[in-house]
A = this chain, B = another copy of it.
Amino acid sequence: MAHDAPVSPLAPKSVPDVGPIEGVRFATAAAGIRYKGRTDVLLLALDEGTTVAGVFTKSKCPSAPVEWCRDNLPGGLARGLVVNSGNANAFTGQKGREATALTAKIAAKALGCAEAEIFLASTGVIGEPLDATKYDGVLEATAARLAPLPWIDPARAIMTTDTFPKLATATASIGGVSVTIAGIAKGAGMIAPDMATMLSFVFTDAPIAAPALQALLSRGVTDSFNAVTIDGDTSTSDTLMLFATGTAEKRGAPRITEATDRRLSSFRKALTTVLADLAEQVARDGEGARKLVKIEVTGATSKRSARRIAMSIANSPLVKTAVAGEDANWGRIVMAVGKAGEPAERDKLSISFGGIRVAHEGARDPSYDEAQVSTYMKNDVIDIQVDIGLGGSSDRVMTCDLTKEYVAINGDYRS
């Protein structure tokens, strides 16, 4: 584990000040799931009436906690969340299912709710049995210490190879009443669209019915978490959940039952901000990352096509190593556009780094100044713009560079 790795140079300069969400309390503990004496479990309690939405990995081999959450999501109600780091409880067969059932049972007893109202997430090594009996007593003791602050504690508790805790917050207005959104995330490696080894939990006091909440989350993820890739590897455990305690209703906020409700416009925007913020922090903490890479594709024949081309660039090891080497190697961008298999014509393609156009209409831009681009490539954040020149659709994705440190971290993770 790379817990002692230096903090990513791309880490935000400060941790946001995240206030309490009424109806959400939490505490962390060391349950000894994998390591002794290290905080490795988060217990989070939600007030009665909290609604829930979730988006999970598209892996055909999902972890036991992902299956547990999927099974219980249709109930629409949540009272507790248990997250452990160190063991993903993935590919653990019947034992894995027994471990989730036992964890939920212990947590439900500790929080005084139904087992189906407990949601679970695990991250860490795949294929090792998780001994849920270790939660016995621990979750009960942890439940006695629940508090609404500070958010840095749960953000830290869910970290694995992350080098900094990830928090984001925003406020919105529903029917003239202020509501708050707070979220935490973990990422690092195995990050790809469709939710890689990424866990994120977002909370709000807004009163929104579960089906509407689900629609908001499913839409919100497209241009945030699903637009981020570190290594193209999708984990078995990816989980993004949104919990709405509804406590703002007491302060006069109207209860929203439809995602199309116009009173949600401010909330939708704030949710997008929080999700995009967390997703960017995940990219900024890509394993071994030294540069954040923002890729914008314009002039594509459809948004879907723009996304595929952008992801082809973002997942190309040759593009990512070139960025690591501070080399504006636009030939590799051409390669990545070409291999995406989407409509593209060499003679209509333009490529820019940080607004400096290096290639235009199928050839090197004659006015391109290599020294100027080389200076630009020394920046922490690299913008790559690709214009396909065929249509009116665009998209943006984010990734990081591929460094020797990525190889070092992942060549020695289990030992």
Whether B327 lies near A414 (C-beta < 8 A) is: yes
Is the beta-carbon distance between B411 and A322 smaller than 8 angstroms? yes
Interface residue A19 (Cβ < 8 Å from any Cβ of B)? no
A61 touches B331 (CB 8 A): no
Binary flags per residue of A304-342, CB closer than 8 Å to B gives 1, else 0: 000000000001111001101101011110111111111
Chain B residues with CB under 8 A of A324: 407, 411
A59 touches B338 (CB 8 A): yes
Identical chains bound together, number: 2
Determine if A95 is an interface residue (Cβ-Cβ < 8 Å). yes
CB nearest neighbor in B for A347: B93
Q: Which residues of B contact A349 (CB under 8 A)?
A: 61, 91
Docked CA distance A127–B329 (Å): 9
Chain B contacts of A321 at CB under 8 A?
A: 406-407, 410-411
- Counting CB contacts under 8 A, is A62 at the interface? yes
- Alpha-carbon gap, A147 to B283, bound state (A): 56
**Given B58, B60, B90, which contacts A343 in the complex, CB threshold below 8 Å?**
B60
Q: A33 to nearest B CB, angstroms? A: 16
* Contacts A127-B330, A327-B413, A335-B234 given; does A60 touch B318 at CB 8 Å: no
Instruction: Judge if A415 is at the interface, Cβ distance under 8 Å.
Output: yes
A129 interface residue (CB < 8 Å to B): yes
CA gap between A274 and B122 in the complex, in Å: 48
9-residue interface stretch from A44-52, A71-79, A170-178, A356-364? A356-364
CA–CA, A136 and B159, complex, Å = 63
Q: Which residue from chain B places its CB closest to the CB of A57 in the assembled complex?
A: B338
Whether a CB of chain B sits under 8 angstroms from the CB of A207 is no
Nearest B-chain residue to A288, judged by Cβ: B407
A-B contacts, 17 listed (Cβ < 8 Å): A57-B338, A58-B339, A60-B344, A62-B338, A127-B364, A190-B318, A231-B317, A233-B335, A317-B410, A321-B406, A321-B410, A321-B411, A325-B413, A327-B413, A329-B414, A403-B407, A406-B407
Residues of A within 8 A of B (CB): 57-62, 88, 90-96, 125-129, 189-190, 192, 231-236, 315-318, 321-322, 324-325, 327, 329-332, 334-347, 349, 359, 361-364, 402-404, 406-408, 410-415
